[in-house]
Amino acid sequence: MSVLEVNDLRVRFRVQSPLQALVRGNADPFIDAVRQVSFSIEEGKTFTLVGESGSGKSTLALAVARLLPSAEGSIKFNGSEVTSMSDSELMDYRKQISMMWQNPVGSLSPRMKVGSLITEPYKIHGLNDRDRKAEGRRLLEMVGLPAHFSQRYPHQLSGGQARRVGVARALALSPKLIIADEPTAGLDVSVQGEILNLLNKVQDDLGVSMFVITHNLNVVRHISDHTAIMYLGRFLEIGPTDTLFAEPKHPYTSALLAANPEPDPDALREQLELKGEVPSLLNRPSGCEFHTRCPFVQSQCKDALPELAGEESHHYRCYFPIAE
């Protein structure tokens, strides 16, 4: 059963005021940060989103949480349409989803102690019947921190400890979906492993679904069931993680995998090198938007955007996919 279903989602930002657009004769003074995005997350599964900085990953996550409005498309959570929810319905929806922010320390108020930070969701949602001190101890225990950490301030935490506090806060209301934006960013490799093991344990114990955004392909391999590759706000490839790693179809996916550090120095890999820079959203390329950097580009790629093709669970947007 799908916990979250997103169909043809589009998120736009205005880049010129109405007066500027009128003076300059710009009929469409917007950029599309997310465009024609569709995916679903199954109950108890992990969906991972990968792409370069500026590709629209965090914007998509914020749109799913309804912290940003969407211009078009559908977001359904347990069958209910999120984009048309009233304020009271959104409040209930946000009890069932949680965000883990990219900056573990910066997302914590420096004026509040850890105990108050992780139990703040109870206050926000009016759950006054909870024993917050007991709940704080329970949540800290769940993420492997001793109870006395409830008296610490964020500046007294290491990066890994702050991330664990973020996980504890995300678990406070027993959500059905956790959205984790770069959960291992800025952490030592050993601490990254601890956080990933913690997230896996939380998922096994609670059955929570996860939507993870990351640059780290080793993270993807470790925790993900399904993966999507994003470029200029659009999915170029999406499918089961094992299939995506073993048989990438889109050149961009293959290039990302080739750039991933290989722990075996004697391993031989076919290197697919990308040239050029990511185009600006203000000057989105025609046709396939990846054609300006693709080593296999042909004239057809420049003329029309390819539709998603492939098998039932593995899709890619490419006229000339990589052969097996």
pLDDT digits (tens, 9 = 90+) for 61-80: 999 999 999 999 999 999 99
Radius of gyration, alpha carbons of the chain: 21
- The edge-to-edge listing of strands for the beta sheet with 315-316 is 97-100, 177-181, 209-214, 46-50, 226-231, 234-240, 315-316, 309-310
Would you say residue 323 has pLDDT above 80? no
Pairing of strands 315-316, 234-240: antiparallel
Would you say residue 264 has pLDDT above 70? no
What confidence score (pLDDT) does residue 267 get? 56
Tens-digit pLDDT profile for residues 89-137? 999 999 999 999 988 888 899 999 999 999 999 999 998 888 999 999 9
Q: Is the pTM of this model over 0.75?
A: yes
What confidence score (pLDDT) does residue 179 get? 96
Q: Name the pLDDT band for 84 (thresholds 50, 70, 90).
A: very high
Would you say residue 262 has pLDDT above 80? no
- Among 72-76, 233-237, 263-267, 294-298, the least confident range: 263-267
Residues 25-44, mean pLDDT to the nearest whole number: 92
Question: Please, are residues 172 and 119 in contact by the beta-carbon 8 Å criterion?
Answer: yes
Percent of the chain scoring above 90 in pLDDT: 68
Residues 76-85, mean pLDDT to the nearest whole number: 95
DSSP string, 65-102: TTSS--SEEEEEETTEESTT--HHHHHHHTTSEEEE-S
Tens-digit pLDDT profile for residues 131-159? 999 999 999 999 999 999 999 999 999 99
What confidence score (pLDDT) does residue 27 get? 83
What confidence score (pLDDT) does residue 270 get? 61
Residue ranges per structural domain of the chain: 2-96+175-316
Q: Name the pLDDT band for 324 (thresholds 50, 70, 90).
A: low
Helices (H), the chain: 18-24, 57-64, 87-93, 114-124, 132-142, 159-171, 189-206, 217-223, 241-246, 251-259, 299-303
Q: What superfamily does domain 2-96+175-316 belong to in CATH?
A: P-loop containing nucleotide triphosphate hydrolases (3.40.50.300)
| 30, containing H or E segment | strand 30-42
- Among 41-45, 216-220, 313-317, the least confident range: 216-220
